[in-house]
Structure 1
Amino acid sequence: MHGNQPPDGPPQYGYAQPYPQTVIVRKHGGGCLRAFLVGAAVMAGLIILGTLISGGGSDDASSDGGRSDTTASTSAKNTEKGKKQEQAKPKSPGIGDVVKDGRFAFRVTKVEKGLSQVGEGFTISKAQGQYVLIHLTVKNIGDEAQLFTDSGQKLLDTEDRQYDAATGAAALALDDSNAFLNNINPGNSVRGILLFDVPKGFQLRAVELHDSVFSDGVTVALS
């Protein structure tokens, strides 16, 4: 090895070659790009959400409007239907009307109420509350004799409570009652009076008339 020759390796040109250096390149703008993309995604989500909410409100409004129209239409139809039913419904029989139950035809002719007593002299009967008198005619429309009795008749108040006839007071104080065990032959009719003892605050609604205590009866409105 000669003293003037350089050592083995790449030739040297007057200075030592530096070791290879690692160059770190920092990319600028990456964070901003990510922030931009995230912001864009959030904005797009908000726009989509706002569109859905707006669309849902519109549908709800339309739906509510449709329901309102339907409700109004249904209400109008029900009102019209109710009027037609009222017009078609037969009027309840009242004073002066002839009604029938079994073998008897009844006609209420007069109503008296608010009497504190009935009868005269030794036959006076005083009411516990007040007396109500129902004047009526009873005709046998059957083909056999039928017994008419006031015990089968009922007076009704506005709360549909039933009141029995005051049979004893009628027999004692009313000579023309004809309502106690009166046997009526076919084709015959009698005039009678039904007597009821009711409270002073009694609100009269109707009388329920029967050809016997076991019949269905028929109601005559009195108010």
Structure 2
Amino acid sequence: MTDQPLTPPAGQPGSAPGQPGFPTGQPGFPTGQPGFPTGQPGVPGAPVAGYQLPPGYQFPPTPPRTKKKWPWIAGGAGALALIACCTGALTTGDTTDSVATGSDTPASASAPAKATTEPTKAVKAEATKKAAALPGIGDAVKDGKFQFTVKKVTCGKKSVGSSVLNQKAQGQFCLISVNVKNIGDESQMFAGSNQKAYDAEGTEFSNDSGAEIYANSEAETFLNEINPGNAVTGTLVFDVPKATKLTRLELHDSLFSGGVEVSLK
């Protein structure tokens, strides 16, 4: 920008000679160059103190400052680099585990296989040994006020009851005929819901009380109180998967009794 030379009004001291309206004898202004101080040649637009700008003069507007985008770009690039670094570290860790185990599958995925197989065999062997040492079918056993004698076991039944009133099995019904005698000094009810059955792996099965109603339709005394000295015969019903083989029965005279086991083999 080139400022216009300022022309001081008449009567202002310090003007160079040869300019009308300005007194002479004031050094500091070269002749014919009003508005420029001595010793600063060729510097346009340097106004002298005390002078006023011409009427209507305006300074040009200052251009707006632009924000620099490079800090944001640099920050984004740094974040992407950090994510890439972390992802690479995780991938390297997985690869290291796979190499250490000699396969593409991490070691933790294949390790438990052997651990779950051996205990199952051990439990099955223990259950078989235990069942072999138990009283069997036809043996009288006691728990609390009751004496039990398992008479017969029949599995593979698809339904129980009559052709009109019956219930179908989810898997198969195992029917266990049991004689129950009250050896106590007061009456006691035998409840099928207190009885439990087990297979060779030790899996516990609860009886099907609804199916027992149809299976014992002709033995009403089995669901009633048994007086001291009396004995009744009824059928316990267990709904188990088709491939299941029951190996032992746990009989109770009440919900909180210790129970007694009988082998079903």
Shorter-chain TM range is: 0.5 to 0.7
Tell me how far 1:171 sits from its aligned partner: 0.7
Query: CA, structure 1 residues 193+176, in 2 after alignment: closer, same or farther (shift >3 Å)?
Result: farther
Report what 2:257 is aligned to. 215
For residues 32-87 of structure 1, give each alpha carbon's deviation from its aligned partner in whole angstroms, at most 9, with x where no partner exists.
Answer: xxxxxxxxxxxxxxxxxxxxxxxxxxxxxxxxxxxxxxxxxxxxxxxxxxxxxx9x
Query: CA, structure 1 residues 151+178, in 2 after alignment: closer, same or farther (shift >3 Å)?
Result: farther
Structure exhibiting the larger radius of gyration computed from Cα positions: 2
The amino acid across from 1:193 in the alignment is T
Tell me how far 1:121 sits from its aligned partner: 1.8
Query: CA, structure 1 residues 141+192, in 2 after alignment: closer, same or farther (shift >3 Å)?
Result: same
Tell me how far 1:125 sits from its aligned partner: 1.1
For residues 112-171 of structure 1, give each alpha carbon's deviation from its aligned partner in whole angstroms, at most 9, with x where no partner exists.
Answer: 001111112221211000000000100000111111110000011111111111111111
Report what 1:126 is aligned to. 168
Q: Which has the higher strand share?
A: 1
Report what 1:192 is aligned to. 234
1:117 match: secondary structure: strand
1:208 match: secondary structure: strand
How many Å separate the matches in 1 of 2:193 and 2:208? 8
* Structure 2: gaps spanning 5 or more residues: 1-128
Contact 2:221-2:232 within 8 A present in 1 as well? no
1:170 match: secondary structure: helix
Q: Does 1:205 align with 2:247?
A: yes
Report what 1:93 is aligned to. 135
Tell me how far 1:92 sits from its aligned partner: 1.7
Tell me how far 1:177 sits from its aligned partner: 5.1
> How many corresponding residue pairs?
135
* Structure 1: gaps spanning 5 or more residues: 1-85
Paired residues for 1:5-154 under 5 Å: 91-154=133-196
Q: Which has the higher helix share?
A: 1
Q: Percent identity?
A: 51
Contact 2:160-2:214 within 8 A present in 1 as well? no
Q: Comparing 172-181 with 158-167, which one deviates more in the overlay?
A: 172-181
Tell me how far 1:174 sits from its aligned partner: 3.3
How many Å separate the matches in 2 of 1:216 and 1:132? 24
Query: CA, structure 1 residues 131+179, in 2 after alignment: closer, same or farther (shift >3 Å)?
Result: farther
The amino acid across from 1:110 in the alignment is K
How many Å separate the matches in 1 of 2:206 and 2:133? 26
How many Å separate the matches in 1 of 2:219 and 2:197? 16
Contact 2:222-2:232 within 8 A present in 1 as well? no
Contact 2:199-2:246 within 8 A present in 1 as well? yes
The amino acid across from 1:147 in the alignment is M
Tell me how far 1:179 sits from its aligned partner: 8.0
Report what 1:6 is aligned to. none
Q: Which has the higher contact order (CA 8 A, sep 6+)?
A: 1
The amino acid across from 2:241 in the alignment is P
